[in-house]
Amino acid sequence: MNRLSERRDFAIAVCEEAGVIAEKYFLDRSNLVIDQKGAQDWVSEADKNVETFIRQKIMAAWPQDGIFGEEHGAATGESGFDWVIDPIDGTTNFVNGIPVWTIVLAGVTEGRTAVGVIRDPNMDETFVATRGEGATLNGLPIRVASGVALQDGTVSVGYSNRIETRHVVPVVAELIERGSMFHRNASGALSLAYVAAGRLLGYVEEHMNAWDCLAGQLLVAEAGGVVEDQDADAMIRDGGRVIVGTPDVFESLLEIAESAWGA
């Protein structure tokens, strides 16, 4: 087994363990300590403690690797391989008792995402991608939808308080105008995984942080979808826009997004 395969298997195991920890907090929300970072931007002790757990596992198994996470500071490494953590993607859902949230872990090297794992404990689903080796759901290969036109499927539209609200409404309006359905579940990572699994046709968001999107973008690419070419290190540093889709609809989504965002 090569080092990348070892890291992939490690990531799967850690995400599944972290999911068990997060579920315990989810089932005991009345005692959960919650803070607000900004408008519609929450963080709980579950987020912080799950990330700490993942970080400790990484430091024990791969002490030379770098670590970047949503809730704690960056730890630079010497190996050239970096881990990017979202301990709970979908915290708003989590704190409100909506079972739509995930554990997300991506591995980056040489400016490219090499490993991506998205674990959904609520549905017992583990989405995994390794660069050049395809994407799987619970160990079985997955592919993006094929032969489904925009007007026959559903596209997920992301939104965060980092962008202007006036840029979101035109995307939704244009999707409706073209006969598509729109979807938002407040977990960008899970939506990207659903594109990879053929459940959604695409995902559009003007700005995402790396921990929310790197694993999902790799999943879509490895499942045969189209993903904008981006430098993963730049995404870790600054975040950026995310547009992914099936080969049938990607160009249409790009056109819709750029028209709405003034790109």
Query: CATH code at 10?
Result: 3.30.540.10
> Do 163 and 97 fall into the same domain?
no
Residue 253 bridge partners (DSSP):
none
Domain count within the chain: 2
Q: What is the pLDDT of residue 30?
A: 85
pLDDT-above-90 percentage for the chain: 79
Domain boundary among 111, 141, 171: 141
Q: What's the CA gap between 244 and 170, in Å, rounded?
A: 18
Above 50 in pLDDT, residue 162? yes
Q: What is the pLDDT of residue 35?
A: 65
User: In this structure, are residues 241 and 209 in contact, taking their beta carbons and an 8 Å threshold?
Assistant: no
Above 90 in pLDDT, residue 47? no
Residue listed under structure tokens 């579940």: 185
**CA neighbor of 56 nearest in space, from 26, 80, 23, 85:** 85
Mean pLDDT of all residues belonging to the chain: 92
Q: What is the pLDDT of residue 263?
A: 61
Above 90 in pLDDT, residue 227? yes
- What's the pLDDT band for 43 if we cut at 50, 70, 90? low
> Do 105 and 84 fall into the same domain?
yes
Above 70 in pLDDT, residue 1? no
Domain boundary among 120, 141, 162: 141
Which residue range is the domain that position 118 belongs to?
Answer: 3-141
Order of all β-strands in the sheet with 181-183: 181-183, 154-157, 202-208, 240-245, 226-227
* Interior angle at CA 127, CA 121 and CA 42, nearest 5: 50
Measured between alpha carbons, how far is residue 30 from residues 40, 41, 48, 83 in Å?
19, 19, 17, 32
Q: What is the pLDDT of residue 39?
A: 46
Above 80 in pLDDT, residue 34? no
> Do 78 and 106 fall into the same domain?
yes
Flag the least confident range among 9-23, 27-41, 142-156: 27-41
Which residues are within 8 A (CB) of 122 and not within 5 positions of it... i.e. 6 or more apart? 99, 100, 101
Q: What is the pLDDT of residue 40?
A: 44
User: In this structure, are residues 139 and 167 in contact, taking their beta carbons and an 8 Å threshold?
Assistant: no
User: In this structure, are residues 29 and 95 in contact, taking their beta carbons and an 8 Å threshold?
Assistant: yes
Handedness of CA 28, 33, 38, 39 (dihedral sign): positive
Q: What is the pLDDT of residue 124?
A: 98
> Do 104 and 201 fall into the same domain?
no
Tokens of 66: 């770098």
> Do 252 and 209 fall into the same domain?
yes
Q: What is the pLDDT of residue 146?
A: 97
pTM above 0.75, yes or no: yes
Domain boundary among 99, 123, 141: 141
90-149 per-position pLDDT tens digit: 988 998 999 999 999 999 999 999 999 999 999 999 999 999 999 999 999 999 999 999
Above 70 in pLDDT, residue 221? yes
Please give the torsion angle defined by the CA atoms of residues 73, 76, 80 and 83, in that order, rounded to the nearest 10 degrees.
-20
> Do 130 and 158 fall into the same domain?
no
Burial class from Cβ neighbours inside 10 Å (0-12, 13-18, 19+) for residue 233 reads: middle
> Do 123 and 228 fall into the same domain?
no
> Do 123 and 160 fall into the same domain?
no
Average pLDDT over residues 223-235: 94
Flag the least confident range among 47-61, 67-81, 133-147, 218-232: 67-81
